[in-house]
Structure 1
Amino acid sequence: MDVTELTERIRANDPDLGLRAVGALHRLAEQVEAVSVALAREQGWTWEQIGDALGMSRQSVHAKYGK
């Protein structure tokens, strides 16, 4: 689904479509975040640097991805 189609679905006044789009965006954002955190760690970033970039505490980021 491209951005235009997503925008049209959101504007369709159908809460089912809008909520499904939100769910899909959340899942995509989680995937991008996980890949980016892993890449940052591979490149030597600290948990504090990653937390700052995400607007989270280093403890929260480490708890989520430190395993």
Structure 2
Amino acid sequence: MEAITIASTAADTADPAAGLRAVAALRRLTDTLELAQVEAGLAAGMGWREIAEHLGVTRQAVHKKYAKRVDPRLARHPRKRS
């Protein structure tokens, strides 16, 4: 199912069971996308603080959530940005 269709189903309150399943699917998709973007940010040289600012959370929150899920080389040695 496409993300737009899932979002539409999640917003429709006519069938709560289908809506709740769609919300769960969106949550899984969001988690997957967020992890990919955190890894991309680290690979691009962003630090935990900058990533956290873009996500609207604290540095500690993003580090706790992702430090053990990303490639350790990315988490420990971010590249210098020019």
Q: Tell me the TM-score normalised to structure 1 length.
A: 0.87
Q: What is the aligned-residue RMSD (CA, Å)?
A: 1.7
- For residues 23 and 55 of structure 2, the distance between their equivalents in structure 1, rounded to whole angstroms, comes to 20
What residue ranges of structure 2 are gaps of 5+ in the alignment?
A: 69-82
Once the two structures are TM-superposed, the CA of residue 12 in structure 1 deviates from its matched residue by 6.2
Report how many residues are paired.
66
Measure the CA separation in 1 of the matches of 2:62 and 2:50. Answer: 10
Identify the residue that residue 42 of structure 2 maps to in structure 1: 41
**Alignment partner of 2:46: what SS?**
coil
More contact order relative to length (CA 8 Å, sep ≥ 6)? 2
Q: Following superposition of structure 1 onto structure 2, how do residues 26-65 of structure 1 map, counting pairs within 5 Å?
A: 26-65=27-66
Superposed CA deviations along residues 6-57 of structure 1, whole A, max 9, x for unmatched, are 3257436111000000000000000000000001001110100000000000
Identify if the C-alpha distance between structure 1 residues 55 and 11 changes in structure 2 by more than 3 Å, giving closer, same or farther. same
Runs of 4+ in 1 over 6 A off after TM superposition: none
Mark the runs of 5 or more structure 1 residues left unpaired by the alignment. none
